[in-house]
Every structure is written in C-alpha cells, then in structure tokens.
Chain A
C-alpha cells in the first residue's frame, strides 16, 4: 500500500538533493546555511517518525534559526533568456498545460479511484490520505512528464526549482511552525482561558448579543490561532452550545455551519494562516508581506456581517 510515509520520503529526497546542490554551488551567497537548512528538513522528512521527538524539536529550532535570521537565500539564477522562452512557448503551445493539469487530475484520481483498487486485499493507496498522496505522486509524475515532453535537462530544471525554493523556504516552513504554536497554545490551555474570559464577562441572555459574541468570537479566535478548526470546539463549548442552542433554543445546524464560516472570515484576515495568506506572497514574489490579507479584508468584513445576520435569522 502506498502511504503518506512514502510521499514524505519523496519530499525528503528532493530536500536532500537541494542540500547537495546548494553545497556544490560555490557562487551561492549563503551556501552553508542554505545547505544546512535543506539537510535538516530532509532529515525530518526521511526519518522524522523514527527519531526521538526531542531531537526533532531541536531540529525545528535549528530550521527556524537558519530561516529566521536570513540564512536561506536564493543564489544567482542563470535563467533562460526571454527570447528562448518565447520560442519554446510558440513551439509547445497548449501542450505546456498538460503536465500542469497532470497534478490536479492525479490528485482527484488518487483520492477517489486508487484506494478502490485492491492488491492482495490491500488498497493500492491509503484511503485516509488519498489527496495528499495524489499531490505527492502527481507532482513527481508532472515533473517527469514535463522533462520528457520538453527535452529539458535535469540539472538546469533543478537549479531553477532550487532558486524558487530557496526564496520561499521561510514561508514554506511557517505553516508547520504555526501548527506547532497551535499545539503549544492548546496544551497550555490558551483556548479555554480565552473562552472563559469571554463567557464570564458577557451577559448573554438575548439573541443578538449572543449571536454577535459567538460569530465575532469565532472570527477573532481564528485570527489568533490561524485555524477555524481550533477555534470551533472552544467557542462552541463556551457560547454556541450552552447559550445559543441550550439556553436560547437556536437550531444547532445553522449555528455550527455559520459559526465555522465566521471563523473562515477570520482565516482571511490573519498572517497566522500562513499557507493561505503568506505562502502565496512568496510564490507570487509580492513585496508587501501582507498583500494577500489586504486584498481579502474588503471581502472578509462584509461577509462576517452577513454571517451575523444569517445566523440571527436562520437559527431562530
């Protein structure tokens, strides 16, 4: 059975190659620290579950130090000239879309179709992790296909990928670090403390104030935690269930659904949701770190107001 560990091994392999290529790149401005960063990340992906947890904790501190103090930077890229790219664009035309479409196509296939194929009674792909496995295998397939179709050589392709990966390394690391901060917050009881503070200090025996407190609380809490899933159990146990549903008799269906979507409005507003709001800034090479959040404010705030009204109307 193809499981998530195999995809992690694939990623580990890529990071190990990046470490090796950085090490060999004598013109790289941060050669050693960049190589160390990718090597540590390769270790975490290749052997993370077999290493003692405290040593992985140390590795995380190492990764953060390397990325946080500017140790990982992109080197000089010998990119192809614009004229060569234009010519190749005319030569391949729409065929250039095929490898790019290979990824979503394969991801859907791996989450819906492949787990149903049984080999010796075992599903071909772990059914619980279909789309992540599809993402990994589809990416590898797209790479191989793109190389074959265009006749591009491996080394310049990897160098170009390394240039992008070096420049977004810190942003790519951030979602993992934020998930880690979320674990620390929940183990330290930050969520329950905040919910307690809210419920103890607000007299919520009328519909509108209770709806406001729950919807805005979900949004605010999601801004803090970066994840509506982390906010939901805390806010619903604090306000949604005991006050809205049990005391005021609201319909639990709309309370939960619209409450969660109020949290999603918070996701649009926070740098803590790094994979949605910070990673694209790096991918699109935008100069303002908060450019994506800025582009979302004018959608998130009116939508949050809509959620409050919808919950008030639909839940009662």
Chain B
C-alpha cells in the first residue's frame, strides 16, 4: 500500500487553513498527489483533462446569470424588498422555515431543481430575508444571507434522499447488489425519513430563532 498520496489530503487541509487561493490549493494538491502516486506527467494531464470534460455540467448554472442580470437591472431585488415590507407577517424566521420545509418536501418528490443557489437564493430568498429581517449592521446582514444559502443546502440534502429514483439511493442499492444483497430502493429511501425530520427540527429551530434577534 502506497501511503504517500495521502500527503495530498494534508496539502488541501493546510492550504485551506492558511486561506490560500482555493483554486491553487486544489490544483496543487492534485498535481502533488498524482506525482506521489507515480503517474507520469502525460498521464496526469490526461486524467485532469478527462475529468474536467466529464464534469463540465457543474458549471451550467452560470447560464442563468444573464437572465438574472436583466431582472436585477429592472429592479427585481427592489420589488422583492417592497413586497416583503408590505407583508409584515412574513418575518425572516418564518420565511426561512417555510422555504426549508418546501425545499425538503419538493426534493423528496424528486423536484430538486425547483431551487438552488443561483436559481432561487440569490434572486428571491436572500433579498426577501434581508428585507424582512432589516439587519442593523453589515455583519448581521451577511450572517442572514449566509443562513439563506445554508437553508437551501440543508433543505436539498435532507429531502432528496427520500426520493427513490435519486442517484444516492440507486448508488446504495447498486453497491449492495454488487455484494450480493438485494434490496428494493424503497427499503433504503424510507430510512432517510427520521434524519430528514431531525434536520427540519434542528435547522428549523435555528432559523425560527431569527425572529427574536430581529
């Protein structure tokens, strides 16, 4: 067993801890790990290139930014702010709680794409929460925006696993099948429910507490 490539992990941890440019840390660690594992420079380049081309879909969310730019030039954020100010009952805490629940339920039904950091957090949720909470300081404002992004992630992660056709469930089923254990997707997906409920309670409690702060 060649343990040298493990140094790559150490490099990543060190780089992130020293707050170096994440782009350089990741590529540097990739190069170091490849060399320590004994790959030739050509092999390394081929591995980099193949993986990059295969994972291009991760950047497709950028395609939404031109539409967002038009809407923001035309006052989408201002409209969202005015809308929230007219509906005083929708406090920041209630808004985030509602969003969390909706995101979890929709993701559990397989509708994971009904939301996302570029699709719904930046144009809708963040300006709504900001207008509802009316933060007094810039630090407070940034904390609320970060909590919006966090709420989208938590809602997505702890909803999607209940959907039986979701990749993670099929991955688990496939893994067991490879090792001779036959399970129905539902036998796995249903066990995601207790954790999903805990996630709603824990994160929900945290966002609901925003009311008292605001």
Residues of A within 8 A of B (CB): 4, 7-8, 10-11, 14, 41, 44-45, 48-49, 51-61, 64, 67-70, 79-80, 82, 85-90, 92-94, 96-97, 99-100, 102-104, 107-108, 111, 131-132, 134-136, 138-140, 142-143, 145-147, 150, 152, 156-158, 160-161, 163-165, 170, 172-185, 187-190, 193-194, 196, 224, 228-229, 232-233, 236-237, 241, 245, 252-254, 256-258, 260-261, 264, 267-268, 271-272, 274-281, 283-284, 286-289, 291-292, 294-296, 298-299, 302-303, 306-307, 310, 314
Contact = CB atoms under 8 A, between A and B. Distances in A.
Interface in B107-123: 111-115, 117-123
Given A161-B69, A264-B157, A278-B22, A294 B113 contact: no
25 contacts: A45-B56, A49-B53, A56-B53, A61-B27, A104-B115, A132-B60, A143-B70, A156-B73, A165-B65, A170-B22, A181-B27, A190-B6, A236-B175, A237-B179, A252-B181, A253-B183, A256-B188, A261-B157, A279-B117, A279-B118, A284-B126, A286-B142, A292-B149, A296-B153, A307-B198
Nearest to A55: B49
Contact of B23 (A90, A170, A287): A170
A131 B113 contact: yes
Interface in B61-88: 61-79, 82-83
Contact of B6 (A173, A194, A237): A194
Interface residues of B, number: 113
Given A8-B56, A88-B75, 16 more contacts: A4-B57, A53-B53, A56-B48, A89-B76, A103-B67, A139-B66, A150-B70, A172-B59, A180-B47, A188-B33, A189-B5, A241-B181, A256-B172, A289-B22, A299-B206, A306-B198
B120 A229 contact: no
B58 interface: yes
A81 to B, nearest CB: 11
Nearest to A302: B202
B42 interface: yes
B76 A178 contact: no
3 tightest Cβ-Cβ pairs between the two chains A and B? A89-B75, A56-B49, A57-B45
B36 A188 contact: yes
Interface in B138-175: 142-143, 145-150, 152-154, 157-158, 161, 167-169, 171-172, 175
B74 A152 contact: yes
Main secondary structure of the interface of B (DSSP, over half): helix
Contact of B75 (A85, A132, A193, A257): A85
Contact of A190 (B9, B124, B171): B9
Contacts, number: 422
Given A252-B176, A294-B146, A299-B150, A96 B73 contact: no
A115 to B, nearest CB: 13
B75 A92 contact: yes
B150 to A, nearest CB: 4
B24, B63, B79: which has the most chain A beta carbons within 10 Å?
Answer: B63
A233 B111 CA distance: 26
Contact of B53 (A44, A178, A258, A299): A44
A292 B146 contact: yes
Contacts of B158: 261, 264, 303
Contacts of B72: 160
Given A69-B21, A157-B69, A177-B30, A96 B79 contact: yes
Contacts of A143: 66-67, 70
Contacts of A291: 142-143, 145-146
Given A177-B27, A296-B150, A299-B150, A99 B71 contact: yes
A163 B200 CA distance: 36
A56 B45 CA distance: 8
Contacts of B202: 299, 302-303, 306
Contacts of A257: 161, 169, 172, 188-192, 195
Contacts of B157: 261, 264, 267-268
A281 B54 CA distance: 25
A157 to B, nearest CB: 5
A181 B48 CA distance: 8
B121, B153, B192, B206: which has the most chain A beta carbons within 10 Å?
Answer: B153
Contact of A136 (B22, B63, B145): B63
Nearest to B120: A104
B176 A288 contact: no
Given A175-B58, A299-B199, A170 B65 contact: no
